[in-house]
Amino acid sequence: MFDHASYDNHEDVHLFHDEDSGLKCIIAIHSTALGPSAGGTRMWDYKSGADMLTDSLRLSQGMSYKNAMAGIPHGGGKAVIWGNSKTDKTDGLFEAFGRAVESLAGRYYTAEDVGIDPEDIEIAARQTRYAGGRIKQDGCGSGDPSPVTARGVFLGLQTAADLAFGTPDLNNRTIAVQGVGSVGGYLCHYLAEAGAKLYICDMDEDAVQHIAKNTGAEIVSVDDIYDVDADIFSPNALGAVLNPETLPRLKVKVVAGGANNQLSTSEMGAKVRDVGILYAPDYVINGGGIINVAGELSGKYSPDWVEQKVQTMVETLRSVMEESQANHEPTNLVADRIARARIAAAKP
């Protein structure tokens, strides 16, 4: 692992297997300098264990940077579960996962990510104290963090539009939205209310039809989304969508969305800038969900505190993009530098 391309001085990486439930899980802790690590759990049917490890390493590093930029007292960690989220979920699997989280004694707090919902987290919470994004009940839990993530992405998208087009007004802007699941679906509603013209895609046919019916969006295939003649491209599915194959197809001036690890490599940030596209670094713009979870984990959840933190996050995003424009530097490198400085300053 130590010479793995995605290894970035991670503090610890844990592999868990439970034979009875079939759980195969990795929990990667990148940094606890700012506090106990926190990050969602992803359930995905990986092609190989190597792919699973790569995802856990990249996502946990991203969470360190995301939490640092969001200004919350948590380091970065991530859990990935190998399995099909539509067919492989059982109570036993998530109880085993809860025991895995509990065994780390508070070094990692879990919550939702791709393929995981609040009901799954509730099952895991039977076995661990270190879970957030729980169902709102009996004064406990803040619920699904996706709506807060989507609100932050929407506000960040307006900010990027302001810098790229001279106005944050999205009325009559054409936006290609890739992925209309938990975050992308809520985002589409915000964008439709703002008067944007939407083109959408998703592998889930039911989801895409539902969003199209409720927003008036036009459906395109998952491959054709890159070719839409749009003002803004908003990735809200999986990562590495900005790569040498897709970048030449984009006709947009802004890329801003909720997906993690949108750049296939760090070097792609410069290539995106060189073709005249303003890129909103993903771990800065999509921090609303973990802010919401952090509010819950504090033991004194306050919607006002969450909103204030989201507004500050958007201000941070603006400062990153403005510094990028002033210094002719890729936005991802500006954000990386700030995040690393915040983490380094917190180390004893």
Strand partners, 197: 174
**Within this chain, do residues 152 and 279 fall inside the same structural domain, yes or no?**
yes
Strand partners, 42: 80
Residue 136 lies in a domain: yes
Q: What residues have CB less than 8 Å from 87, skipping those under 6 apart?
A: none
Q: Tell me what pLDDT residue 234 has.
A: 98
**Within this chain, do residues 87 and 187 fall inside the same structural domain, yes or no?**
no
pLDDT at 141 > cutoff 90: no
Instruction: Retrieve residue 277's tokens.
Output: 């596209």
Q: Where are the beta strands (DSSP E) in the chain?
A: 12-18, 23-31, 37-38, 41-44, 75-82, 108-109, 174-178, 197-201, 218-219, 232-235, 254-255, 278-279
Nearest in space to 234 (alpha carbons), one of 257, 268, 250: 257
Q: What residues have CB less than 8 Å from 120, skipping those under 6 apart?
A: 41, 43, 89, 94, 112
pLDDT at 137 > cutoff 80: no
Q: Where are the beta strands (DSSP E) in 10-141?
A: 12-18, 23-31, 37-38, 41-44, 75-82, 108-109
Domain boundary among the residues 107, 122, 144 is at 144
Write b or e for each residue in 294-307: b if 16 or more Cβ atoms lie within 10 A of its Cβ, otherwise e: bbbbeeebeeeebb
Which domain covers residue 51, as residue numbers?
Answer: 1-62+78-144
Residue 224 lies in a domain: yes
Distances (CA, A) of 194 to 15, 168, 188, 282, 308: 45, 10, 10, 22, 22
Could you give phi then psi for residue 232, rounded to 5 degrees?
-135, 140
Residue 273 lies in a domain: yes
Domains in the chain, number: 2
Percent of the chain, pLDDT > 70?
99
Q: Which CATH number does the domain housing residue 33 bear?
A: 3.40.50.10860
Q: What is the mean pLDDT of residues 127-134?
A: 95
**Within this chain, do residues 135 and 244 fall inside the same structural domain, yes or no?**
no
Q: Are 57 and 8 in contact (CB under 8 A)?
A: yes
**Within this chain, do residues 127 and 234 fall inside the same structural domain, yes or no?**
no
Residue 237 lies in a domain: yes
pLDDT in tens, 18-39: 999 999 999 999 999 999 999 9
Residue 67 lies in a domain: no
**3-class SS at 105?**
coil
Residue 308 lies in a domain: no
Strand partners, 198: 175
pLDDT-based confidence at 136, cuts 50/70/90? confident
**Within this chain, do residues 104 and 21 fall inside the same structural domain, yes or no?**
yes
First to last CA, the chain: 26
pLDDT at 295 > cutoff 70: yes
Residue 166 lies in a domain: yes
Q: Tell me what pLDDT residue 348 has.
A: 79
Given the DSSP bridges, would you call strands 75-82 and 41-44 parallel, antiparallel or unpaired?
Answer: parallel
Q: Tell me what pLDDT residue 325 has.
A: 96
Instruction: Retrieve residue 337's tokens.
Output: 């530098």
**Within this chain, do residues 189 and 226 fall inside the same structural domain, yes or no?**
yes
Q: Tell me what pLDDT residue 1 has.
A: 85
**Within this chain, do residues 119 and 196 fall inside the same structural domain, yes or no?**
no
Q: Is 78 part of the annotated catalytic residue set?
A: yes
Residue 346 lies in a domain: no
**Within this chain, do residues 189 and 110 fall inside the same structural domain, yes or no?**
no
3-state helix, strand, coil in the chain (%, to 5): 45, 15, 40
pLDDT-based confidence at 139, cuts 50/70/90? low
Q: Tell me what pLDDT residue 142 has.
A: 83
pLDDT in tens, 36-88: 999 999 999 999 999 999 999 999 999 999 999 999 999 999 999 999 999 99
Whole-number CA gyration radius for the chain: 19
Using the Cα atoms of residue 69, residue 70, residue 76 and residue 79 in order, give the sign of their dihedral. negative
**Within this chain, do residues 250 and 200 fall inside the same structural domain, yes or no?**
yes
Please give the Cα distance from 130 to 144 (Å, whole number): 16
**Within this chain, do residues 183 and 92 fall inside the same structural domain, yes or no?**
no
Average pLDDT value for the chain: 96
Q: Which CATH number does the domain housing residue 252 bear?
A: 3.40.50.720
**Within this chain, do residues 135 and 153 fall inside the same structural domain, yes or no?**
no
Domain boundary among the residues 118, 144, 170 is at 144
Q: Tell me what pLDDT residue 106 has.
A: 97
Q: Tell me what pLDDT residue 138 has.
A: 63
**Within this chain, do residues 10 and 125 fall inside the same structural domain, yes or no?**
yes
Percent of the chain, pLDDT > 90?
94
Which listed residue (47, 66, 78, 253) is catalytic? 78
Strand partners, 38: 76, 109
